[in-house]
Amino acid sequence: MAKVNKTELEQLRGIDAAAILPRLVDYAKADPSFVPISGEPTTRWHVTAQGRNFELLLTGPKFYDTRQKRGGGAQLIL
């Protein structure tokens, strides 16, 4: 696998999680009834990956697992 330079890495870390999530998991569906509390463009997703179910809040490259009460940014680890 080729090395990634710093510029490419920053671009990859900035990818919108909602855009890439459906390509990484077995099942992903955005919840159209979700209304975020904050003014940020957050979406809620119901996800199945490797037989496990998740409920994720996604804002840009950041995510928050509502069941584990953990989140992060620039990467999705399921």
The DSSP-derived string for 12-62 is: HHTS-HHHHHHHHSSEEEE-TT---SSSS--EEEEEEETTEEEEEEEETTE
pLDDT for res 75: 59
Tally of structural domains, the chain? 1
pTM (predicted TM-score): 0.81
For residue 18, tell me if it sits in a domain. yes
Per-residue pLDDT 10s for the chain (78 aa) are 788 888 988 888 889 999 999 999 999 999 999 999 987 899 999 999 999 999 999 999 999 999 999 998 765 554
CA–CA gap between residue 1 and residue 17 (Å, rounded): 23
For residue 63, tell me if it sits in a domain. yes
pLDDT for res 66: 96
What residues make up the domain containing 67?
A: 6-73
pLDDT for res 78: 46
Nearest one of 46, 41, 39, 51 to 21, comparing CA atoms: 46
CA–CA gap between residue 36 and residue 47 (Å, rounded): 18
For residue 59, tell me if it sits in a domain. yes
pLDDT for res 1: 72
